[in-house]
Amino acid sequence: MIVPIEPSRLDAFRAAVAEQGAVLYRDLPWRRTRDPYAIWLSEVMLQQTQVSRVDGRWQRWLERFPTVDALAAASASDVLEEWQGMGYNRRALALLHAAQQISEAGGSFPADERSLRALPGIGPATAAGIRAFSFNLHAVYLETNVRAVFLHELFAEEEDVPDRDLLPLVDATCPPDGGDGLIDPRGWYYALLDYGAYLKKTLPNPSRRSRAYTRQSRFEGSNRQKRAALVRALLARREGATTAELAADLSRSELAAGRDALSDADVAALLDQLAKEGFCEWERGLWHT
């Protein structure tokens, strides 16, 4: 059962967050632009990746692919190469495929939620981030730092809080399009993000009291780790490689990490998975990215 929160308490909450945001503001490079392409890129890169790691990689990506049309014209291998070290490779392919759709539609980035969410890889939080930070529009932006603030301030004594209890409050507290004279959507969510980051550094992570909280699964030795290593091996062999060559590459890295070598059949199964997802293809007896 959702217990209603009094409007006066929400007003006090907004004032407290705005005050904390002013004190804790982080001057991050992607906050110095309103280019929806650049902001979209930052939102994708920041998913489960530390800010310090994104700062630098975001700039490098934009030097290589400065516009959505430039990204759309790039090869999958170039995009995957630039993405290495940034987490799930499928996010890079989603960026490429979404850029291709935007470019084919004329190159103008959509601002409405439905059109944004129709693009590959763009979910509710990413769409809301683009709307708020690029277009300064009202949006329901619920990500881990934002969630931490709402849990800390409004659900301090509760456990296992579902997002369905938070989403109406996120919606109610976000200012209207362009702002309300006190703060705008862009500044509001910056304040929430910075306050949430501060809380997670100084307190036991409030997000752990969310029903949506999950510990990230072990990466080393996982199937995900082997797939990532195989993508790197493919990128290192731009002229193409046989299954046996890739199995040897992957087995060397597995043995160096103290794990067992993989058979050609094991690697062939991984390659078939990657091919179905668009990471590579079999052509004239060789695997290519």
| pLDDT surpasses 60 at 2 | no
Q: Is residue 1 part of a domain?
A: no
Q: Is residue 155 part of a domain?
A: yes
Q: Is residue 258 part of a domain?
A: yes
> Which of these ranges, 71-75, 133-137, 207-211, has the smallest mean pLDDT?
207-211
Whether residues 94 and 234 fall in one domain: no
| pLDDT surpasses 80 at 3 | no
Whether residues 77 and 144 fall in one domain: yes
Whether residues 188 and 231 fall in one domain: no
Distances (CA, A) of 232 to 31, 52, 227, 229, 269: 31, 23, 9, 5, 17
| pLDDT surpasses 80 at 277 | yes
| pLDDT surpasses 70 at 215 | no
Exposed, middle or buried: residue 3 (CB in 10 Å: 0-12, 13-18, 19+)? Answer: exposed
Please report which confidence band the pLDDT of residue 204 belongs to, taking 50, 70 and 90 as the band edges: confident
Whether residues 188 and 264 fall in one domain: no
- Quote the CA–CA distance of 8 and 157 in Å, as a whole number: 20
- Quote the CA–CA distance of 264 and 245 in Å, as a whole number: 9
Region 58-86: mean pLDDT is 97
Exposed, middle or buried: residue 48 (CB in 10 Å: 0-12, 13-18, 19+)? Answer: exposed
Q: Is residue 216 part of a domain?
A: no
| pLDDT surpasses 50 at 1 | no
pLDDT digits (tens, 9 = 90+) for 112-153: 999 999 999 999 999 999 999 999 999 999 999 999 999 999
Q: Is residue 214 part of a domain?
A: no
What is the predicted pLDDT for the residue at 158? Answer: 87
Q: What is the dihedral of CA 263, 269, 274, 275, to 10 degrees?
A: 120
Region 166-181: mean pLDDT is 95
| pLDDT surpasses 90 at 40 | yes
Region 247-261: mean pLDDT is 91
Region 95-124: mean pLDDT is 97
Q: Which of 209, 239, 260 is the last residue of a domain?
A: 209
| pLDDT surpasses 80 at 219 | no
Question: In the chain, pLDDT over 90 holds for what percent of residues?
Answer: 83
What is the predicted pLDDT for the residue at 21? Answer: 97
Instruction: Count up the domains in the chain and report the number.
Output: 2
| pLDDT surpasses 60 at 245 | yes
Region 91-107: mean pLDDT is 97
Average pLDDT, the chain: 93
pLDDT digits (tens, 9 = 90+) for 57-68: 999 999 999 999
Q: Which of 176, 209, 242 is the last residue of a domain?
A: 209
What is the predicted pLDDT for the residue at 221? Answer: 76
Whether residues 184 and 228 fall in one domain: no
Whether residues 204 and 230 fall in one domain: no
Query: Which residue range(s) make up the domain with 277?
Result: 223-288
pLDDT digits (tens, 9 = 90+) for 150-171: 999 999 888 889 999 999 999 9
Whether residues 205 and 271 fall in one domain: no
- Quote the CA–CA distance of 207 and 143 in Å, as a whole number: 10
Q: Is residue 134 part of a domain?
A: yes
Which of 2-11, 67-76, 202-211, 271-280 tops mean pLDDT?
67-76
Q: Which of 209, 232, 248 is the last residue of a domain?
A: 209
Whether residues 66 and 141 fall in one domain: yes
CATH number of the domain within which 247 lies: 1.10.10
Does residue 43 have an active-site annotation? yes
Amino acid identity, position 192: L
Whether residues 106 and 145 fall in one domain: yes
Amino acid identity, position 154: L
Q: Is residue 2 part of a domain?
A: no
CATH number of the domain within which 60 lies: 1.10.340.30
Whether residues 71 and 128 fall in one domain: yes
Instruction: State the catalytic residue, choosing from 43, 82, 143, 153.
Output: 43
Rg (CA), the chain: 22
Helix (H) or strand (E) holding 199: helix 185-202
Whether residues 141 and 235 fall in one domain: no
Q: Is residue 72 part of a domain?
A: yes
Whether residues 165 and 280 fall in one domain: no
